[in-house]
Structure 1
Amino acid sequence: MRKTNKPPTLLRLASASLVGTAIEFYDFFIYGTAAALVLGPLFFPTFSPLAGTLAAFGTFGVGFVARPLGSVVFGHIGDRYGRRPVLFASLVLTGAATVAVGCVPTYATLGIAAPALLLVLRFLQGLGLGGEWGGAVLLTAEHAPPHRRGLWASFPQIGPSVGFLLANGVTLALSAALTDAQFASWGWRVPFWAAGLLAVAGLLLRTSVAETPEFTALAESDTRAGAPLAEVARRHWRLVLLTAGALATGYAVFYAVTTWSLAYGTERLGVSRTVMLACVMAAVALKGAATPLVALLGDRYGRRPLCLAGCAASALWMFPMAGLLHTAEPVWMVTGFVGAMLAFVTMFAVVAGYLPELYEPRVRCTGAAVGYNLAGVLGGALTPLVATALTDGAGEGPPWGVAAYLTVLALFSLGCFALLPDTRPEPRTASVPA
């Protein structure tokens, strides 16, 4: 019997999506880590420590504001000209902006122009990442067989974990090898410069990817949407708002753990930068390993049930996580972070298969990406700012205000998921001979 080459093709496509997404999220996350650790004093030295951290997180949030705009721009390209061009253009934009961040002089040299440049480059980072997710997910989802779409589409969802571990691993190594003065002077720039090499590697890997069969069919029949955004706004606006609200708590939980907790642990609890990074990285590594396993459960039992379970788990775990974080003990902090990451991955491992199935192919790249990235504004951009403000003047106790905020958001997302349909295809049945 002749051997089919479909599985290797799927594996190659999924690997290209994973690696590219990992590189782009590396670019995005390295800024968040730097914002939590050094950007406040370097670019906002005239502010108080708290105000400087808030200002740094403000520039961090600009990247999330740009992501929906990126999903509109690159979604139009993906729905009109193909998913494949999106993969290249978004990677080039994000990589170039990240390298440029590492070259920006500090406030001491440029004055107010320094944080202004940061703001512009962060916006460009977000613009590129807003396009990356839709292109990478559709590349695998539209090639995959329906009964395994959740598994194959989950490969790009592993990318954020790989990117985060890579970004923070580099930061951790530099933090351990350099003095605080050396790290603040030039060490924090090295991870940004490394983004250029990673972007080149990602582009080389993506040269072999093929266009998806669903877009090819649309192009051949000339049934592509003329104005994808207008069509989404006219026919799918409710779906976009529901998916944005549903996914907001996942973003909030993730960035509360990976960004806000770094600032809280080092500034309020006096935990060393190295210990905080190691604790967070341990939780994110487990989250990445669990992603394909949870995606398989989504293929078997449905996407929405797992999303509902993830929201419920988030609502139940936020207060215990806040208490465990406040102990400043590495073992307990890791326990709190792991619980939060498992609740998060129960939702986000399946959304790469879920969101594309909610939209028709002609507007899928725009609709799915806009909903996904609007959630980033609601959950990712606001959470570090809100959490930092809630802990200011909150006394010496655990950050219960942050826990309450995250719990309320989880319940809100639970309600949004309850209003969405499940899209899992019917399981295949074996053929019975006559």
Structure 2
Amino acid sequence: MSSVAEEAAGATAYSAAAAKKTQSKPLNSPAEVIAASLVGTTVEFYDFYVYATAAVLVFPKLFFPSGNPVASQLASFGVFGAAMIARPVGAIFYGHMGDKRGRKATLVACLMTMGIATFLVGLLPTFDQIGLWAALLLLILRLTQGFALGGEWSGAALVATENAPEDKRALYGTFPQLGAPIGFIIANGLFLIINFSLPHPDSPTMQSEAFLSWGWRIPFLFSSVMVIIGLYVRSKLAESETFKQAEAKGTIVKVPLFDTLRHHMKAVVLGTFAMLATYVLFYLMTTFSLSYGTHPADQSPAGLGITYTDFVLMQIIGVVFFGLFTILSGPLADSVGRRKLLLWITGIIIVFALMFPIFLDSKANTSFNGALVEAFLIIGFTLMGFTFGPMGALLPEMFPTNVRYTGSAIAYNVSSIIGAALAPIIATALWSAAGGSTWMVGVYLAIASVLTLISLILTKETKDIDFNGDLGAKKTK
């Protein structure tokens, strides 16, 4: 009995001291929070996009040669999508670590795992050198990437939101989200620089033999430099005060996964489908659109026939809008609420999806059609910023502190299976089935958005919840 009383007294004293300390000076300054949440996700998303770009440009030729370009592309997208299947496994593993041992150590482990896997992809022999073993090794490393990313996002989102002022939680939640556009720009910008540095004898916009032989490996190897920077930044981060309070008050559970599934399954399901439209939209705007945009217009199924370098430059312009509106979505979500903003944006995404043929289906090579394609990318990435930005606050807010890492990670990453993993494959199949038209791809995005709309309708507004006070139920002895 005395031990229980002593524990209660200790927890009360800790809480009072922690509250006083928090009022005087936060453990992590805003600059440290921004750096730790942004740098890590930038590295992780960079690694992911390097693979996504290579999945279109390099891997179909070097790892999945079949004589049929569409079949090779689908095989490459299949391995790309396999990482999404590994992400929920990583979410469970790293979520357990994050909810049991803390956010900081877990984030460091995620970053190292992703960095090592990406670096090793840059060293892989190709199909011509070792046959099917090349594809198998690529699959293993791709699964490792997905496993690492399964824990990265949620940890970064928690670092941002658990260190945020109550009225700026959505704004702080956009910091890890910015890793997506920044990582995209760095990854694709590096591919462009390498491609131009190793020009094809017929045109600098085409891929040279040197690029296909060894140039494509440079972005994967360069990942090690970015990982070192990310590890340095995260090593300076202090553990979340909210997590420390959960430890002191005895709310940390033995198996966070069991507690999440037993008491928070509704939140997991709603969070999963709340992310669905975001995932489908993003992978249509990046991976699928790169494949469609660079596919020859005179080859079935007809693409746009835009050169790789031109299309990636067009994408990068669109991604600038992605980053800008990700940041702008934070203050807006803090003002009107996450749910209200996302309901409006999801409705607009449905309208945009049904307009795909207007932007994309003309194969005429004119400046007007080029402007339509650029408008398509800018609008799509703008909507992506508005829908992706608030997720950094919304998903963590759906769970108490003691299962927040696990719950938000599972929702975010299970959605990656039904959204991101399948999006490029389904879109490519629909595009091919429609004879080169994109109307069925647009309908696919619209259906995913309707499911997200239903989820948001069933989700309560989280803007004003007691985020740092809800530590979870105290464990029983």
TM-score relative to the length of structure 1: 0.95
The match for 1:304 is 339
Which among 403, 412, 432 is matched to residue 363 of structure 1?
Answer: 403
Contact 1:17/1:155, CA 8 A, preserved across alignment: yes
Q: Please state how far the C-alpha of 1:286 moved relative to its aligned partner.
A: 1.1
Between 1:327-336 and 1:138-147, the stretch displaced more is 327-336
Find out whether 1:375 has 2:415 as its counterpart. yes
| Match in the other structure for 2:163 | 143
Task: Give distance in 2, aligned partners of 1:358 and 1:46.
Answer: 46
Q: 1:235 aligns with which of 217, 238, 263?
A: 263
Task: Indicate which of 405, 416, 426 corresponds to 1:386.
Answer: 426
Q: Which residue of 1 aligns with 2:326?
A: 291
Query: Once the two structures are aligned, what percentage of the paired residues are identical?
Result: 37
2:438 matched to 1:403?
no
**Which deviations, in whole Å up to 9, do the C-alpha atoms of 1:91-120 show, x marking residues without a partner?**
000000001111111100010000000100
Does the Cα contact within 8 Å between 1:260 and 1:384 map onto a contact in 2? yes
State the 1:411 CA deviation: 1.0
**Distance in 1 of aligned mates of 2:67 and 2:339:** 45
Aligned to 1:248: 276
**Aligned equivalent of 2:308:** 273
Q: Matched residues in 2 for 1:379 and 1:218: separation?
A: 33
Distance (whole Å) between structure 2 residues aligned to residue 217 and residue 100 of structure 1: 40
Q: CA deviation at 1:154?
A: 1.1
Q: Does 1:188 align with 2:227?
A: no
Query: How far did 1:7 drift?
Result: 10
Q: Structure 1: which 5+ residue stretches go unaligned?
A: 428-434
User: Equivalents in 2 of 1:426, 1:134: separation in Å?
Assistant: 19
| Aligned amino acid, residue 403 of structure 2 | V
Unaligned runs of 5+ in 2: 1-22, 201-206, 296-302, 364-368, 467-477
Find out whether 1:55 has 2:75 as its counterpart. Answer: yes
Q: Which amino acid aligns with 2:161?
A: A
CA distance in 1 between partners of 2:400 and 2:92 (Å): 16
8 Å Cα contact 1:320/1:336 also seen in 2: no
Q: Secondary structure at the match of 1:226?
A: coil
Higher helix share: 1
Aligned partner of 2:471 in structure 1 is: none
Name the structure 2 match of 1:64.
84
Give, in whole Å, the separation in 2 of the partners of 1:115 and 1:224: 42
Partners of 1:100 and 1:426 in 2: CA distance: 43
What is the alpha-carbon distance in structure 1 between the residues aligned to residue 43 and residue 144 of structure 2?
Answer: 15
Larger Rg: 2
Contact 1:22/1:162 (8 A) holds in 2: yes
Deviations 1:245-296 (A, max 9, x none): 1211101001101100111111122210001111111111111112121110
Alpha-carbon RMSD: 1.7
Conserved in 2, the CA contact under 8 Å of 1:37 and 1:262? no
Aligned match for 1:341, one of 381, 384, 387: 381
Amino acid in the other structure paired with 1:411: V
CA distance in 2, matches of 1:426, 1:248: 24
Residues 74 and 383 of structure 1, relative CA distance in 2, 3 Å threshold: same
Kindly state the Cα deviation for residue 310 of structure 1 after the two structures are TM-superposed. Answer: 1.7
User: What amino acid sits opposite 2:152 in the alignment?
Assistant: E
Q: How many residues align?
A: 424
Distance (whole Å) between structure 2 residues aligned to residue 85 and residue 127 of structure 1: 16
User: In the alignment, residue 50 of structure 2 is paired with which amino acid?
Assistant: I
Quote the offset at 1:204 in angstroms: 0.8
Whole-angstrom CA distance in 1 between matches of 2:264 and 2:98: 18
CA distance in 1, matches of 2:267, 2:36: 29
Cα contact 1:323–1:399 (8 A) shared by 2? no
User: What's the CA shift for 1:321?
Assistant: 3.4
Aligned equivalents of 1:293, 1:7: Cα separation in 2: 26
Counterpart-to-counterpart distance in 1, 2:269 and 2:64: 35
The 2-side partners of 1:385 and 1:9 are apart by 43
Residues in 2 aligned to 1:83 and 1:228: alpha-carbon distance in whole angstroms: 14
Q: Tell me what 1:431 maps to.
A: none
CA–CA distance in structure 1, aligned partners of residues 259 and 26 of structure 2: 34
1:4 offset after TM fit, Å?
6.8
Change in Cα spacing, 1:96 to 1:117, as seen in structure 2 (3 Å) is same
Q: 1:432 corresponds to which residue? A: none
